[in-house]
Amino acid sequence: MTNSDLAERLLTVIEADILPLTEKGVSAGNKVFGAAILRKSDLSLVIAETNNETENPLWHGEVHTLKRFYERTEKPDTKGLIFLSTHEPCSMCLSAITWAGFDNFYYFFSHQDSRDSFSIPHDLKILKEVFRLDPGGYAKTNAFWRSSSIADLVATSDATAKSALRAQDKRIREKYQSLSDAYQSGKDDNAIPLN
């Protein structure tokens, strides 16, 4: 599998599987963050989910996906699975992905994007206040997993695939921007502690 095949599949899961759930979630007052789990073998989707902090402030997109995954009767071994996060995971979600046994994760937006484009400064603030880490200061390759940004996959794709991937990337960014605007305009009314 090439980097462009993987990038195309991950972007399509965000667009076709995660975003429709996130649209509903945001209209119920939740944040824009979502996640999914895919099989390494054929990149088929196991589960997609979205943030559900209005129910429980721990239900970030990633943790909510893992919760729903472990509620299922049939759970493939996480060593054979890919974890996809729409946004680079916060410290809680980094640990949750680790405790669940994944050896990888991929993300679309970075921590800096969450702060600058989504007005959600909490991830970076927790990293700094609790762990004394600067943005992106965690180990992206470590004894447990390796994290990769989809942007890097796109950047290293072959030239013919790149323009289609860039167009898909742009479409997804625009969609998230409008969802983020909707979340921000209504967030004063929700009871999420770090909204």
- Number of residues binding to Zn ion, judged by CB under 5 A: 4
Q: Which of 6/59 has CB closer to Zn ion?
A: 59
- The residue within the footprint of Zn ion, chosen from 19, 90, 97, 127 (CB under 5 A), is 90
Supply the minimum distance, in Å, between the C-beta of residue 94 and Zn ion. Answer: 8
Report if residue 154 touches Zn ion, rule: CB under 5 A: no
Q: Which of 96/153 has CB closer to Zn ion?
A: 96
Encoded one letter per residue, x for contact with Zn ion by CB under 5 A and - for no contact, window 113-142 reads ------------------------------
Binders in 170-189 for Zn ion, by CB under 5 A: none
Report if residue 60 touches Zn ion, rule: CB under 5 A: yes
Q: Find the farthest-apart pair of alpha carbons in the chain and give their distance in angstroms, rounded.
A: 47
Cα 65 to chain centroid distance, Å, stands at 10
Token output for 51: 């943030």
Q: Using an 8 Å Cβ cutoff, are 136 and 112 in contact?
A: yes
Report if residue 96 touches Zn ion, rule: CB under 5 A: no
Supply the minimum distance, in Å, between the C-beta of residue 65 and Zn ion. Answer: 11
Q: What are phi and psi of 33, to 5 degrees?
A: -80, 135
Report if residue 93 touches Zn ion, rule: CB under 5 A: yes
Q: Which of 100/165 has CB closer to Zn ion?
A: 100
Report if residue 84 touches Zn ion, rule: CB under 5 A: no
Exposed, middle or buried, 122 (CB in 10 Å: 0-12/13-18/19+)? Answer: middle
Q: Which of 60/111 has CB closer to Zn ion?
A: 60
In the complex, the residues that contact Zn ion under the rule CB under 5 A are 60, 90, 92-93
